[in-house]
Amino acid sequence: SLEAAENRANRSNERVDLGNDLPASSLAAAALAAAKTKTGLPYVYGASGPSSFDCSGLTSWAYAQAGARIPRPSQGQANAGTRLSMSQLMPGDLVLFYGDLHHVGLYAGNGLVLHAPRTGTFVRYESINNMPFQFGVRI
Structural domains in the chain plus CATH codes: 2-138 (3.90.1720.10)
pLDDT beyond 60 at 6: no
The percentage of residues in the chain with a pLDDT greater than 70, rounded to a whole number, is 90
pLDDT beyond 80 at 126: yes
Average pLDDT over residues 9-28: 78
Average pLDDT over residues 64-89: 97
The single-letter code of the amino acid at 47 is A
Q: Do residues 134 and 96 touch, judged by C-beta distance below 8 A?
A: yes
Q: Which SS3 state, helix, strand or coil, does residue 13 take? A: helix
Nearest by Cα to 138 from 18, 31, 20: 31
pLDDT beyond 90 at 11: no
Catalytic (active-site) positions:
55, 103, 115
Rounded Cα gap, residues 36 and 46, in angstroms: 20
Rounded Cα gap, residues 131 and 104, in angstroms: 10
For residue 132, whether the previous peptide bond is cis, meaning omega lies within 30 degrees of 0, is no
Outline where DSSP puts E strands in 12-100: 82-84, 94-97
Q: What is the pLDDT of residue 111?
A: 97
Average pLDDT over residues 35-44: 97
The percentage of residues in the chain with a pLDDT greater than 90, rounded to a whole number, is 88
pTM: 0.89
Count CA within 13 A, CB hemisphere, residue 20: 0
